Chains A and B, each alone.
Chain A
Amino acid sequence: MSLFSTANHSGIPSGSKNSMRRITNSLGIFLFLLPGLVIFLIFVIYPIFRSIYFSTFDWNGLGPAVDNVGIQNYKDILTDKVFLKSIINVLIIIVLSLGIQLPLALLLATLVGRDLPGRAVYRTIFFLPYVLSEVNAAIMWMLLFNADPERGLLNGILVALNLQPVGWLSDMKVVLFSVFIALTWKYFGFHMLLYLTGLQNIPTEIEEAACIDGANSFQSFFHITLPLLSSTIKTSVYMSVLGSIQQFILVWIMTKGGPVNASETMATYMYRFGFVRFDLGYGSAVAIIMFIFCVVFSLIYQQLTREPDYLTGL
């Protein structure tokens, strides 16, 4: 398995190998890796295997798991319409994030740019939602989305404009978009920060040169800025997709995946079975399926983008 090829990233060009040989000692490397590896193996890797093990049981979490059902849980999950619905919902969130949230973040990052007076203030403000907890964000947005125009600001505004109020959290056609709005509010600042740092690295001379050559700002954006930002965008897309697959707390508090699974995501589905219906074997299987999705996505994305520098390219 090679999710991220590291062959090119030793950081040591062949020319310096002579000097290297002298001091490379494997004990040192081992000691450097030791604390990280120990904690990681115990608390992350071992639990993955334990989840795989429990995913083959019909187990309510009480007492030892004895009823081994093989891959039945997986079969049930993959044929459950609700789970398929949750996959579709996650895909919708991914598409919306990539289609709206990230471009919005990029747009604002470009507007703030690197020389706008007061940009530090904007930067700080846009990142504020990311600093607040997801529980906070969920509570605030539930208030805004309240269906009663006197209690929910959004419907209050709609009614004041003589428009029909919207069932933000109660209309099954709307609720997923409401969730997406809250997600965008919470996370676009993070992506914007990534883009801002990416922009910071583009030498101003290149854009100035383009400007002198008569390129207007749109041309210079699409032909110069965007390509130079590509590695940052790759990182941002990667994190956005993984985040969407794993998104849980905000959705759970706001909608519990409802009404009637209209905003179900894979993670709320997992929680529903693991902690509400106490079917821990089934819940573990959902967790493993989510894990597999993430791994598969990473591998494909790796292939598509070739250069393995999601985070190295920040």
Chain B
Amino acid sequence: MNRKLSFLISIIFIAVFALSACSTAAPTEAPVVATDAPAAATEAPAEPVVITWWHISTKDPALSSWQKMADDYMAAHPNVKIEITVLENEAFKTKLTTVMQSGEVPDIFQSWGQGGMIEQVNAGLLQDITDELDANNGEWRNSLGALDAFAVNGRNYGVPWDMGAVTFWYNKDLFAQAGIEKTPETWSEFLEDCEKLKAAGITPIAVGEGDKWPGMHIWAYLVSRIGGAEAFAAAADMSDARTGSFEDPAFIQAGYELKKLVDGGYFQEGFLGATHDDMQAAFGNGKAAMILGGQWSPSVQAANSADLQGVKNLGMFNFPAVEGGAGLVTDIVGGGNGFAIGKDAEPEAIDFVKYLTSLENQIIIAQDNTGIPVAKGAEVGLTDPNMVMVSQAVANSTYYQLYFDQVLPSAMGGIINDAVQKIFAGTATPEEVCAEIEAGFLAQ
């Protein structure tokens, strides 16, 4: 081998050793050793326990908040070691699928409840924690809201840690520029406003249909506005007593209403290939007047905008009511994040989750302003006015419709996303799209 190459290889080896040396010297968070035990006081030294926890809060402040809570818990319980794996959402799903098919499951992991959770429960991968929730006269249960999303047949296999809602966010300046004085409350007003914006040379709505789910929310909201709570519940019923279908009029009409937006040319140029980040950037840079987005939108549109400030005059309104529809303007579509408990989790893991969802820690989560806390009384932590708006929309909601893909079996999320995209692309009629969704549902 020539000199240069062997030189390079020796450099690599030296670098490896040097780096290994410094990283061992660096203050890594070594497992708290049992000798520190006296901190826990009275109890006899307990068996060492390792808890594995996978979450998807890759960014600060949540990332550090979780880490600190884990550190604090470990300090108070020297026998417990919490191994955290932080994964990006897509990577998390890939890894969880791979691991679960081999029969393994982390002790605590990110979950969105319902559909996906039901399958995991049926496969015996999760642990029933209902008794812990009900212990001490239901002390833990009563401290939390939104527990139903993580219950299967009345038994809980996880708990939520935040919740949120999808609403319209709009740029007040652009609305004023187009001569729109008040936010639309009905669908026809909404369409008129879109027309006004378009006439004023402003892109009415940005959507990241390349990622599929942002546009799916528009359709889901239309379904909920037209058919009310009933239509979806009837169609999504997994039992033999199912009365509805995804081909019911509400679903088809929702497709046609959505088509009006597409045909009207109300979305930004290239929306079919745009990502969710693109959509937030377009909105944040004032290139579109509205987005339909979750509680995360205010912070993401700001982060993705050129000046990092985002829309100067940001407003929010509920998805308008569709005339003649069964749903109310105050019905909310939303969902949240939670922890599922793996089948092999030790009692300490459940105790740790209890600690994570305690009021004091929930206030910390609220202060991050990325979601609405679920512990009762933790809303006081919300400081961002935008988050307060979302929180109020949820508090005042007449019905809280969980995201469709969270209610349905996990495969359905992908099926609905793929099908609804065809309305955006104009490659299928709403009837065909609904038939495809129904066929997908029946195959589950």
Contacts and interface: CB of A to CB of B under 8 A. Distances in A.
Chains A and B bind each other: yes
Interface of A: 60-63, 142, 145-148, 151, 165, 167-172, 175, 255-256, 258-261, 272, 274-280
A186 B122 CA distance: 44
Interface in B270-300: 270-275, 278, 281-282, 287
Q: Is the interface of B mostly helix, strand, loop or mixed?
A: helix
B209 interface: yes
Contacts of B424: 259
Contact of B411 (A151, A165, A171, A277): A277
Given A62-B100, A148-B287, A260-B427, A167 B411 contact: no
B119 interface: yes
A148 B268 contact: yes
B272 A259 contact: yes
Interface of B: 93-94, 97, 100-101, 103, 119-120, 122-125, 209-212, 268-275, 278, 281-282, 287, 410-411, 413-415, 418, 421-422, 424-425, 427
Contacts of B278: 146, 148
Contacts of B120: 62
Contact of A275 (B94, B119, B124, B281): B94
Nearest to B275: A142
Q: Is the interface of A mostly helix, strand, loop or mixed?
A: loop
B411 A168 contact: no
Given A61-B97, A62-B125, A260-B425, A255 B273 contact: yes
A258 B424 CA distance: 12
A275 B116 CA distance: 13
A162 B424 CA distance: 28
Contacts of A63: 103, 122-125
A258 B420 CA distance: 12
Nearest to A261: B418
A170 B421 contact: no
A146 B271 CA distance: 10
A148 B210 contact: no
B120 to A, nearest CB: 6
A280 B102 CA distance: 12
A160 B72 CA distance: 58
15 contacts: A63-B122, A142-B275, A146-B270, A148-B268, A148-B270, A169-B274, A170-B209, A170-B274, A258-B212, A259-B210, A272-B414, A272-B418, A275-B94, A277-B411, A278-B119
A148 B268 CA distance: 9
Contacts of A274: 97
A243 B424 CA distance: 32
Nearest to A252: B90
Contact of A169 (B101, B273, B427): B273
B119 A60 contact: yes
Contacts of A170: 209-210, 270-274
Sort A-B residue pairs by CB-CB distance and give the 4 closest, nearest first.
Answer: A147-B270, A169-B273, A170-B273, A62-B123
Contact of A147 (B93, B122, B274): B274
Contacts of A261: 418
Contacts of A258: 210, 212, 272-273, 421
Nearest to B211: A256
B252 to A, nearest CB: 19
A167 B267 CA distance: 13
A62 B270 contact: no
A170 B268 CA distance: 11
* Most B Cβ at <10 Å: residue of A259, A274, A279: A259
Nearest to B277: A142
Contacts of A275: 93-94, 97
A276 to B, nearest CB: 4
B209 A278 contact: no
Given A172-B427, A259-B272, A148 B282 contact: yes
A255 B211 CA distance: 8
* Most A Cβ at <10 Å: residue of B124, B410, B413: B410
B210 A278 contact: no
A170 B274 CA distance: 7
Contact of B414 (A145, A169, A276): A276
Given A275-B94, A277-B414, A256 B422 contact: no
Contacts of B122: 62-63
Contacts of A272: 414, 418
* Most B Cβ at <10 Å: residue of A62, A169, A280: A62
Nearest to A64: B103
B274 A278 contact: no
Given A62-B101, A63-B123, A165-B269, 5 more contacts: A62-B119, A147-B271, A148-B269, A167-B270, A258-B273
A276 B94 CA distance: 8
Contacts of A148: 268-270, 278, 282, 287
Nearest to B119: A62
Contacts of A171: 272-273
A256 B271 contact: no
A61 B100 contact: yes
Nearest to A82: B418
Contacts of B425: 172, 259-260
B274 to A, nearest CB: 7
Nearest to A175: B273
Given A148-B268, A170-B210, A275-B97, A259 B414 contact: no
B271 to A, nearest CB: 7
Nearest to B282: A148
B422 A145 contact: no
Contacts of B125: 62-63
Contacts of A169: 210, 270, 272-274
A277 B415 CA distance: 7
Contacts of B269: 147-148, 165, 167
Nearest to B271: A170
Contacts of B273: 145, 147, 167-171, 175, 255, 258-259
Contacts of A142: 275
Contacts of B119: 60, 62, 278
A60 to B, nearest CB: 6
Nearest to B424: A259
Nearest to A279: B411
Contacts of A61: 97, 100-101
Contact of B410 (A145, A175, A259, A278): A278
A170 B207 CA distance: 12
A280 B275 CA distance: 27
